[in-house]
Chain A
Amino acid sequence: MQTVSKSKTPRWALRDVLLLAFVAVFIGFIFWVLGPIYNLLSAALTPLGLAPFANELLIGGWMMAAPLASILIRQAGAGLLGEFFAAAVEMLLGGQWGVATLLSGLVQGIGSEAGFAILGYKHWGWRGIFASAITGTLVTFVWSALRDGYASYHIGMLIALFITRFVSILFFGGVLVVAIQKLIEKSGVLHHG
């Protein structure tokens, strides 16, 4: 059993930082196997002009580190830091997106963190998790509008992309995280004291 330190000050204890980092890396590795699938999927969709959907379908998985870090550490900034850690590790290992990973990680972290922040960092259960899924979708979609040229799509395409992304984040960053939290609570491995 691990006790997560409950400090009101934003000072980060070594074991919390390490837990955050390890969770980020484990999630990163689970989704790393998705890389080739993503490439295949987007290659298949490219001639149809539907390649962005590959990204939309899988984005929830890439963003999972943030809500998981939040519910485990229960501290302001945990989600942002978790996602940023995951991106930093991926970059330092020479992942295929390099420096761009760090920017996306930052945006995704902010998006997910915002949900918990809006609720005043009081709800770490399903309420906070779903709020973070919603803000995560909104923030990353604005970022995509700028970076990936989404602003130039037809409104129909835009709506389809948005819905796909929302469903993906809702599943991986919402439903799945709630299920994981239930398992953690049942097992009693974490103690917030």
Chain B
Amino acid sequence: MNPLIKFITVMVIALELTFIKSVTVNLVVIGVSALLYLFLHLHWKQWLWLILLPLLPGLGSWFSLMYFGTGNHVHMAWVMLTRVFAYLWLGGLFTLKLTEEREVFLATLEQKAKLSSTFVYALVGVLNFMPAVNQQIKTIRIASQMRGQTLHIWQAQLYFKAILSAIRWSQNLAEGMVSHGFTEGAPRTYLNVITINKRDWVLLAIILIAFQLLLFPNWY
């Protein structure tokens, strides 16, 4: 399935889950996601990640709603606990495969969703800079520590220095991209032409329609 189609499916359902107060619907989403994960052959560490990650925020909401809730709060507490799991398991269907699919995803955004190539390549460029950004923040902090000054997260200096780096790097990258022949708004040709199968669209329609039908009965 094309990652963009998958992304749309996941986003629409996640958005709807935000407004649906039903434990059953959440459990169905979790169950279907779990079934799909079985086909994806996850590593045991990924399973552990899927189980542990939602536990903390889920229980956090559960306890608060039990203690400080009002009205039908016991129901809402269970809705929140299952919703956090549904959210993350659903989202995981997209994110866990993202490392392999990231390039296709961005290429689809550019070619099929007609997102401006300036944005797509800015995103690609910045993603490649991630390790350097991490290093630069460490450098900023260490450099000021050598002058006997610790930069805390609530100090404007830290952000100011980070912004200075951002300004310099964005300038360099813009010049680099232009000197490598990137022209804003110019028509481009593609090495990898993305096609979205008809089957993907049909699948998208079936999943979304099935999900809407699921919402009709008055579940707990």
A141 within 8 A of B: no
Set of chain A residues within 8 Å of B163, measured between Cβ atoms: 23, 26, 68, 72, 180, 184
Interface residues in A, total, Cβ within 8 A: 70
Q: What residues of chain A have their CB less than 8 Å away from a CB belonging to chain B? A: 2, 12-15, 17-19, 21-23, 25-27, 29-31, 33-34, 39, 42-43, 45-52, 54, 61, 64, 68, 72, 85, 88-89, 91-94, 96-100, 102-103, 146-149, 152-157, 171-172, 176, 179-180, 182-184, 187, 189-190
Given A14-B118, A183-B157, CB of A30 within 8 Å of CB of B71: no
Set of chain B residues within 8 Å of A156, measured between Cβ atoms: 68
Set of chain A residues within 8 Å of B169, measured between Cβ atoms: 22
Q: How large is the interface on B (under 10, 10 to 19, 20 to 34, 35 or more residues)?
A: 35 or more
* 10 A-B pairs (CB sep. < 8 Å): A23-B163, A26-B162, A27-B159, A42-B56, A49-B63, A89-B123, A94-B95, A99-B10, A100-B88, A149-B79
Set of chain B residues within 8 Å of A103, measured between Cβ atoms: 11, 14-15, 18
Given A68-B163, A180-B159, CB of A54 within 8 Å of CB of B170: no
Q: Which 3 A-B pairs have the closest CB atoms?
A: A51-B60, A49-B67, A98-B91
As a 0/1 sequence over residues 78 to 104 of chain B, the CB contacts with chain A under 8 angstroms (1 = contact) are 011001000110111011101100100
Which positions 47-64 of chain B face chain A at CB distance < 8 Å? 53, 56-57, 59-61, 63-64
Beta-carbon contact of A17 and B122 below 8 Å: yes
A179 CA to B77 CA, complexed, in Å: 41
B7 within 8 A of A: yes
Beta-carbon contact of B92 and A15 below 8 Å: no
Residue of A nearest to B98 (CB): A94
Set of chain A residues within 8 Å of B159, measured between Cβ atoms: 27, 30, 64, 68, 176, 180
